[in-house]
Each structure stands twice: as C-alpha cells, then as structure tokens.
Chains A and B, each alone.
Chain A
Amino acid sequence: MTTYREAIREAIAEALTADERVFLMGEDVGAYGGCFAVSLGLLERFGPERIRDTPLSESAFVGAGIGAALGGLRPIVEIMTVNFSLLALDQILNNAATILHMSGGQFNVPLVIRMTTGAGRQLAAQHSHSLEGWYAHIPGLRILAPATVEDAGGMLAPALADPDPVLIFEHGSLYNSTGEPGTGPVDITTAAVRRPGRDVTLIAYGGTLHKALTAADELAAGGIEAEVVDLRVLRPLDEATVIKSIIHTHRAVIVDEGWRSGSLSAEVTARIVERAFYELDAPVERVCSAEVPIPYAHHLEEAALPQVPAIVTAARDVVSS
C-alpha cells in the first residue's frame, strides 16, 4: 500500500532517473518540498537543476516549460492549483495547445503540467474550483484525472512519452488516499470500469470517483447494481467505454465537481444522447457542484459539492423512472 502522493513522487523520481531530459519545475517544489509535499525529498536526491524552484510567475515558468520542451527537454511543470493556472492560461492555450497546428506540424510540445484541483478542504473560492472541464475544451491538449493510486503513479511515464502537452489534474482530497501501487505505466487513452453493474451507469472522475463507488455500495444494499465508469481521460474522451456501458445499463448518472452549466458532465451527456439516445430508458441525470463560487464555511461547502446521498437519489430516480 502507498499513498496517492507517494505514488506521484515515486513516478517523478523514476522519470528523473530514467531520462536525463526530464526535470521538475514550479513554485516551492524544492526547498519547501512541494505545497502538497509531493516532491518532498526530491531536491536532496536530484539537486536544484532538476528540481527547480521558480519565482511566483505562472505565465513565465509555464511558458518556459513550453520553450524547454521545444528545445528538446521533457519538463514536468507543477502549478500549485488550477486556480493559479489561470495566470498561465494564455501560455497553455495560445502556445502549448496550438503550436503544433500553427506550425503545420513542425513543432510539437512534449510538456507535462501537473496541478491540484477541487474542493473539500474549506479553502474558499480562490482555491477550490474544478476547472479541468475548461481545459478539456481545448483541442491539442490531453487531460488526465487520476482518481486511484495506481493511476496517480502510472500516468506520468506515458504522459512524458506523449509527444504533445498533457495536463494532469490531481484532486486535493486524494493525496492521502491509499491503495496498491501499480506495476508500471497505465493506459492514458481509455476510461475504466471500476465496478460492474447492470442497472445504471455512474460516470465520475477524479475527486468524485470514490463518492460514486460509495454510492454504488449503498445502491447495492437496496438491490440496485450500479456500474461505475471512471473517465480518467477527460480529453480526448473515451466515448466507447461510456457508450458500451449505457448499452448495458440503459441509464446514466454523471457526477462532476465542476459547475453543471457548460461542464464536462454536459459534454458527456451530449455524447450519450448523440450516440445512444435510443438505448436510454430514462433521461440522463447529473450531480454537479452548485452554481456558486465554493464557500468557506464547512456546511456551505458540503452543500455546494456533489455528495453521496445526491448520487444515490439520482440513481434511484433514473432506475425507477
């Protein structure tokens, strides 16, 4: 058993050991040990050239990561949280995601950007949002959301091997979660069925996967067998796995910590409707965050986020309709 945090740390260490071109850079990744302690101890092991502390300058160091990738290196750029990535949004969207296309295929950007996402720790509106759905809107990027310890460790190597920019979203509530470490790289093109079932498909990812699994347990106690699909890859979406499950269960509940309007859950709904409308026995349901900036007070934050009872209720509704 290991933690999500340690799995990522080990994966970074292995990548640094395996390939001289790999280095980690970001705010407080070195002396501080990473704001979520992911890179703790790596500075001592690999030195300041490869565990590179940057000033507070998200746009500059993400842009520098793009440049270094163009220059033949394999940077892993850590942004403390998705909220701060907005200061680098221009670089991510206008450079990383577009240079390959704009250059007519001449220049690719083999860059990995890791960042924390999500709520649940009473950090209020500037530290708690789930904006990975926005990034999943952007062609040219691959968007990953590891929800398990195995994925947390196993997604880094294939992400580094990818010729194009890969963004990895680590949900802040998962760092202390434990699980079996994987045996190596995992696939970063497909969704995963985390629990088989026949009555309804619960589609989740990242921070909501475990809530969906808990809901599935509760549903099973009441005789409803839910299949749980972990999207894992938010772009390009693995439609096939989702559609296959719908064909099997004929019902879907999508759980997304993003806001409902214009969210990833909306995209998944649309794909189901486009591809499997006649398979559905009930309208698709969604359990998303309330459409408010995430508040500080514990009870308000809890109320704003997708929770197990709401998932259970939604699943019962679609099954009984």
Chain B
Amino acid sequence: MPRKTRARSSRDRELLRQMLRIRRFEERCVELYSGEKICGFMHLYIGEEAVAAGVCHALTSEDAVVSTYREHGHALARGVPIRSVMAEMYGKAAGCSRGRGGSMHIFDAERRFYGGNAIVGGGLPVAVGLALADKLLSRGRVTACFFGEGAMAEGEFHECLNLASLWGLPVLFACENNLYAMGTALARSQAETDLALRAAAYDVAAWPVDGMDVRAVADAAERACESIRAGAGPHFLELRTYRFRAHSMYDPDRYRDKAEIEQWKLRDPLGQIRLPEDELAALEKEIAQELEDAVTFAEEAPIEPIEELTRFVYSEVRP
C-alpha cells in the first residue's frame, strides 16, 4: 500500500495538482454528460490519474505523447489547455480538434499531443514512427505511448515492440494495466499476465510499477526517459492501476465485483500526497475556477459552421 505522506517537494505538489485537475475535470464531465452537453463515447480516467501525472511529468515540451480514447488525463497532464479540451467535449469550433473529434480524439500540435486513438493498439505504430523520425534526425526526444493492457493482445503490440527494439527507438511504452479491457479481465484474455515479462521478450527494458503511487510512477518514468535519452532504446512500464468507473458511459459494469472496486478505492492515488488543509483548499479553489472558466468558455464558444464540414479532408495549403 502506498504511503500517505505529506507533500515534500514542489514535484509532489505539482503531481497532486495535476491529478486533482484531472479528477475534477472528469467529475464535471459526468454532470455535463448527463445534461447532454457532452455526447458520444466518453471513457473516464478516474482512479488512474497517477499514471498520466507521473509519466507526463517526466517529459519535456519537446517530447511527444500518443494516447488512446481514455485520454483526458494524458491531455491535461501534458498541458493541453483545459478550455480547448472542454470545448472539444462540447463539439465546438474552439475545441482542440474543432469539434470533429470529441472526447476520444484530442489533438494538440503545440504540445506534440498526437491524439486520442480509438482503435485499440492503433497508436503504437504511430509512436514507433514518431520515434523513428526523431532518431533519424538525431533529435534526442522521447515519444510516450499510452495504451491499455488489452492492447497487448493485439498483433500491433508485438509488431511494434519488435520494431522499436530492433531499431533502438526512443519510445516509452506506458501500459496502463487497469485489469480490464471493457468487460474482459486480463487473466481471462491473456495467457501470460506478467506484462513486463512479455515486453522483455522483445529485448526491451521493462518493469512493473505501482500505478496508484504517483511518486513511484514519476520516478520510474524519469528513470526510463533518462535511459531512453541516453540511447538505450525503448522502455516499457507496466503501470498497475484501476479504473474506478465503468469502461464508458454506456457500460453497465456487470462483469466485476463491487467489493473489488471498493478495495481499490482505498488506494485512491489522490490520497497519497497530503497537503495542509488551507493549501489543499486553495488548490481546490484554483482548480474549480479553472474549470468554471473552461465550462463557460465551452458554453459560449460558437459551433463550427456547417459550411466548414468538408474542411480538413485535404490540406488547404498545397504546393
């Protein structure tokens, strides 16, 4: 069980701040979803915040992130402005993907955030390619690629680990093992459940991390990134975490025990770092304001005119 200790450093404070932002953002999104302000598929990250906060903390602004449909946390921790994420949830023109993507497809070129990809495993080859470009251009960057343990059953996982390892590419494979792929428990779907062991089969440095302990995640990610930057090739972290909510807003969550969920909630990553009461209250207030501002912004933002529907199918600037 991770220790519940006082914030010791500015890093601790920042990690807590990011986790709290993600949590409050998503709680608000649930309300907005009930009010039909947000539609479509929405996958919550609640419970897994330590992973995004810890991994993104280890990245520089030069690095890249490739994510999945469960990417609100990654986007916020990466610094994608909360306003543009919220406006995207609303499907507004001011959204980071101009309303075309929604919850599952957040993109932000400025933050090198290469999207929420909603095809399980679909982001891995993209990450390998980004890293290949960095390697060929000697850029010394890292590409962090988030995916769920479910993706490890897909062929693409195996093809990509092999390629990244073979070519010594600077990829951080961040596997969020929350134990379930929709309703399918890891042990019911994958023969070897020691995930780091499987990654290691491709000669990739790999180890498991307590994904509920944000400090442990940040430490591991820093160590991995340092090693990647030093030219040691791809690294794989199995981040052991848990989603407190259903797979998506459509999921009646029939396949797991309520007691199991309660058990994991005892290890809520937000409880790991304690702040003095007044400091915590100030932080909550700051986040509440940031959120309020984002919701107001999204509410008031104009929608994309229908005449613009066919834009961005082809590039507008052509030689």
Contacts and interface: CB of A to CB of B under 8 A. Distances in A.
Interface of A: 27-28, 31-33, 35, 53-60, 83-84, 87, 121-127, 290-293, 295-300, 303-304
A56 B120 contact: yes
Given A124-B100, A126-B122, A291-B313, 7 more contacts: A28-B182, A33-B254, A53-B189, A55-B184, A87-B156, A296-B40, A296-B105
Contact of B119 (A57, A83, A293): A83
Contacts of A293: 100, 313
Contact of A127 (B118, B156, B181, B254): B118
B40 A32 contact: no
A32 B303 contact: no
Given A56-B151, A83-B119, A290 B100 contact: no
A281 B183 CA distance: 55
Contact of A292 (B92, B97, B254, B310): B310
A204 B122 CA distance: 33
A127 B39 CA distance: 14
Interface in B60-111: 91-92, 97, 99-102, 104-105
A209 to B, nearest CB: 24
Interface of B: 39-41, 91-92, 97, 99-102, 104-105, 117-122, 150-151, 153-156, 181-185, 188-190, 251, 254-255, 303-304, 306, 309-310, 313
B102 A124 contact: yes
Contacts of B104: 123-124, 126-127
Most buried by A among B41, B255, B309: B309
A31 B119 contact: no
30 contacts: A27-B184, A31-B183, A31-B254, A32-B183, A32-B254, A35-B182, A55-B181, A55-B184, A56-B150, A57-B154, A58-B154, A122-B39, A123-B40, A123-B104, A124-B104, A126-B119, A127-B41, A127-B118, A291-B310, A291-B313, A292-B313, A295-B309, A296-B102, A296-B105, A297-B99, A297-B304, A299-B91, A300-B99, A300-B309, A304-B309
A125 B105 contact: yes
A63 to B, nearest CB: 10
Contact of A57 (B100, B155, B182, B309): B155
A156 to B, nearest CB: 23
Contact of B155 (A28, A33, A60, A121): A60
A24 to B, nearest CB: 15
Contact of A297 (B41, B91, B182): B91
